[in-house]
């Protein structure tokens, strides 16, 4: 026959094992619920992670489209700025003393026979 102190110790150990087994079962169930919620079970296409991935992909596409539009606008602004500079140079040449210098240079070139 098993002495009472050994039996009570065995009972305590058995009770602790049962508690740990029950806690392990609860942890496994919670882990399973978390995996379902996140969309990580059996290749699921629903849940938080797959929907977040879809949202991120849509935002990336939106950003790419905006980048293309911005590039077009920047190019257009650059071209417009270049046109404005060219107009300003032409106006200053026509209206300023530089135009006299160009006319004089053209006259001298025509007299030297370069234009013939």
pLDDT of residue 46: 67
Distance of CA 81 to the CA centre of its chain: 30
10 has pLDDT over 70: yes
Q: What is the pLDDT of residue 1?
A: 60
Q: Mean of the per-residue pLDDT values for the chain?
A: 80
CA separation for the pair 92, 77 (Å, rounded): 22
Domain boundaries, the chain: 4-84
Distances (CA, A) of 26 to 12, 14, 32, 63: 21, 18, 10, 44
Residue 96 predicted with pLDDT over 80 = no
- What does the pLDDT average to over 51-72? 90
pTM of the entire predicted model: 0.42
pLDDT of residue 115: 47
Closest by Cα among 50, 52, 49 to 60: 52
């Amino acid at each position: 026959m098993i002495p009472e102190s050994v039996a009570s110790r065995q009972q305590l150990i058995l009770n602790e094992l049962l508690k740990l087994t029950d806690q392990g079962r609860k942890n496994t169930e919670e882990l399973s619920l978390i995996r379902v919620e996140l969309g990580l079970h059996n290749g699921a296409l629903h849940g938080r992670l797959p929907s977040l991935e879809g949202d991120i992909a849509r935002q990336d596409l939106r950003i790419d489209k905006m980048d293309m539009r911005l590039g077009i606008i920047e190019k257009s602004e650059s071209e417009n700025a270049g046109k404005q500079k060219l107009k300003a140079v032409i106006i200053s040449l026509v209206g300023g003393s530089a135009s006299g210098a160009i006319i004089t240079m053209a006259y001298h070139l025509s007299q030297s026979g370069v234009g013939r």
